[in-house]
Amino acid sequence: MRLLIVDDEVDLSESLRRGLINEGFVVDVANDGVTGAWLAHENPYDVIVLDLMLPGKNGYTILKEIRAEKNWTPVLMLTAKDGEYDEADAFDLGADDYLTKPFSFMVLVARLRALMRRGAPERPVNITVGSLELDPTRHKVTRGDAVIELTAKEYVILQYLMQNADTVVSKLQIMDNAWDAAFEGSENIVEVYVGYLRKKIDVPFGLNTLQTVRGMGYRLVADTPAP
């Protein structure tokens, strides 16, 4: 049971290290973000305990780098920041648990053991259509080396189209997937968002992958040069 603690409070880190060793853990400690990121990259851990506010490189950055490397080691965020947006951001970036300071040592141990029993979960597989790739874990869309910034609605529509690549989907099907039942607008809203998507995923790259099938709907295909 090997874990990594990345926290810049030296006294707290040492206290945790001693206590966790007594609980049967093998513990590595880093007191800055750069060292913590390097250790996480170089060594296999069962759990990583990661503070948010760190010198050199903050916890959000380290978490993003870990997940970008397809490293799914469970991460428990340990921080003095208790805002709901901070917690939401941590989970969005791929954290598995979140504990605010001050905390009970026994609660920490219980959560660590729970994460270890759960193990590194299998994460969503990226969806690829030609050079277009969607990463469900990080809500990130790229075409080649270019990152494509999408709104939440654009992302949901693109994900649905990519999941049904090479298949014609109707406006109604897109609406059922991207809007809730309370939406009372026209199906023409789909045309608007398809236009937004084309300007982001096709036009800058000289492609025509998000195609209109007249009278039927839309189809997303692999890289096709624009006429």
pLDDT at 185 over 90: no
Q: Are 187 and 171 in contact (CB under 8 A)?
A: yes
DSSP summary character for residue 126: P
The CATH code for residues 2-118 is: 3.40.50.2300
For residue range 137-152, what is the model confidence (pLDDT) as tens digits? 677 899 999 999 998 8
For residue range 4-43, what is the model confidence (pLDDT) as tens digits? 999 999 999 999 999 999 888 889 999 999 999 999 998 8
Average model confidence (pLDDT) for the chain? Answer: 87
For residue range 53-82, what is the model confidence (pLDDT) as tens digits? 899 998 888 988 888 787 888 999 887 766
DSSP summary character for residue 109: H
pTM score, two decimals?
0.60
Give the residue from 207, 212, 126, 128 showing the smallest Cα distance to 169: 212
Domain spans in the chain, listed from the N-terminal domain onward = 2-118, 127-220
What are residue 48's DSSP bridge partners? 4, 75
Q: Identify residue 169 by its one-letter amino acid code.
A: V
Q: Classify 13 as helix, strand or coil.
A: helix
For residue range 79-117, what is the model confidence (pLDDT) as tens digits? 776 666 666 777 777 788 888 888 899 999 999 998 888
Give the residue from 124, 117, 70 showing the smallest Cα distance to 97: 117
Give the residue from 188, 138, 135, 181 showing the smallest Cα distance to 158: 135
pLDDT top residue among 35 and 123: 35
Give the orientation angle of helix 188-201 with respect to helix 171-178, to 10 degrees. 80
Write b or e for each residue in 154-193: b if 16 or more Cβ atoms lie within 10 A of its Cβ, otherwise e. bbbbbbbbbebbeeebebebbbeebbeeeeeeeeebbeeb
- 123 pLDDT band, cuts 50/70/90, is low
pLDDT score for 165: 93
The CATH code for residues 127-220 is: 1.10.10.10
* DSSP assignment string, 89-106: HHHHTT-SEEEESS--HH
Cα–Cα dist 217/220, whole Å: 11
Average pLDDT score over residue span 177-206: 87
pLDDT at 162 over 90: yes
pLDDT score for 95: 82
